[in-house]
Amino acid sequence: MANKRSKVQRRIVSKDGHNNVRIDNVESMVQLYLHDIWTTVVDMKWRYKLTLFASTFVMTWFIFGVFYFFIGMGNGDFDALPNSNHTPCVVQVETLTGAFLFSLETQTTIGYGFRHISEECPLAIFTLVAQLVITGLAEIFVTGAFLAKLARPKKRAETIKFSYNAVICRRQSKLCLMVRVANMRRSLLIQCQLTGKLFQSNTTEEGEKTQIHQRSVDFYMDSSGECPFLILPLSFYHILDENSPLAGLTAENLHTRDFELLVTLNATMESTAATCQSRTSYVPQEILWGYEFRPVLFSTASGRYVPDFNFFDKVQVSNDPSFLSNNKEKMKIEENYKRE
């Protein structure tokens, strides 16, 4: 039953941190995206960004090539006799293809010297200057969007790993909900802060029902509020006391509760000083009552500490007497976990 229910469990945030909320029926959505064109371009998928990059160059080459072609046509360059004293606006441009090639050479500063603008045509000179200014700005914009997407902390956040399950056990004589977090790269993360949001339906005192109500869930490292140094896999704790949004949670009602726990890690990258954010979420079927994480850190003969990530998501039954006293509940929890 738990497996069947977990398949249809609605989530606001997926396990890998992606937003599952779909925005629909928004008026002037295209206009809103165009108003913030920079964010729109940066958030584009790579296939669209590459298409935009290529089309920006090709279209500007072609558009200004058409301008040069019509300037030459208006100046009578294509009707002049070979032996006449007529000075063309763009020398050696007699077709639209030639005008396109001249535009390409101008914008890319290739400068073969075969085609060039004469001094007798101010309109062509103005068009040349306008092309260099406009296309220069366009290249800066597109190139900047490429660099911004490559340097986004989002990719760094993908190397932060959360435990697949959260566990509930006792820590320092207090009932705690625990999640494990690890940094998968050698570059350090500093000023780490783990925060949580509990999403569940709620009914106010006035009788107003809200489908999604958010409440803050505080996490600590060793029950302290200091920023941890995320160089090794760490376990963060939330104390399940009377002040907790999860107050009243028991082994009996855990899988009957309807909520989603969003866990967010904010950290600063030591190498670039940029901040990154990584997220995951837990539904009741992914929270194990009466379990604790297995040790993941080992030492070698050479004096090194080695986190073995084969044990990162492994859990074991808690040895706390308060959990072991109820053998029936313990066996039920263990059977449910093995079945999952």
List pLDDT tens digits, range 281-332. 999 989 998 888 988 888 888 878 888 888 898 988 887 766 655 545 555 5
Element (H, E) at 64: helix 46-74
- Arch. (CATH architecture) of 11-22+154-339: Sandwich (2.60)
Report how far residue 310's alpha carbon sits from residue 24's, in angstroms, rounded to the nearest whole number. 41
Provide CATH 2.60.40.1400 ranges for the chain. 11-22+154-339
Q: What is the average pLDDT value for the chain, to the nearest integer? A: 81
Q: 284: which DSSP letter?
A: G
Q: Is the pLDDT of residue 64 over 90?
A: yes
164 confidence band (pLDDT: 50, 70, 90)? very high
What is the per-residue pLDDT across 86-123, written as a single tens digit (0 to 9) for each? 788 888 888 899 899 999 988 888 777 788 888 888 89
Q: What is the mean pLDDT of residues 196-216?
A: 81
pLDDT at position 322: 67
C-alpha count within 13 angstroms, C-beta hemisphere, residue 66: 5
Percentage, residues of the chain above pLDDT 90: 16
Supply the pLDDT for residue 323: 65
Where do you find CATH 1.10.287.70 in the chain? 44-151
pLDDT, tens digit (0-9, with 9 covering 90-100), for 12-58: 888 887 887 877 777 777 777 778 888 888 888 888 888 888 898 89
Quote the pTM value.
0.68
Give the residues across from 161 on adjacent strands: 182
Provide the residue count of the chain.
340
What is the pLDDT confidence band of residue 270, given thresholds at 50, 70 and 90?
confident
Asked whether residue 63 carries a pLDDT value surpassing 90, the answer given is yes
The confidence score (pLDDT) of residue 89 equals: 85
Least confident of 193-202, 217-226, 280-289: 217-226
Higher per-residue pLDDT: 262 or 213:
262
What pLDDT is stored for residue 58 in this prediction? 92
For helices 122-150 and 46-74, what crossing angle results, to 10°?
Answer: 180
Helices and strands in the chain: count of H runs, count of E runs: 9, 15
CATH 2.60.40.10, applies to 44-151:
no
Residue 221 is classified by DSSP as: B
CA distance 237 to 220: 5
| Cβ–Cβ under 8 Å, residues 300 and 277 | no
Q: Using one digit for the tens of pLDDT, what is the confidence trace for 131-154?
A: 999 998 988 888 888 888 777 767
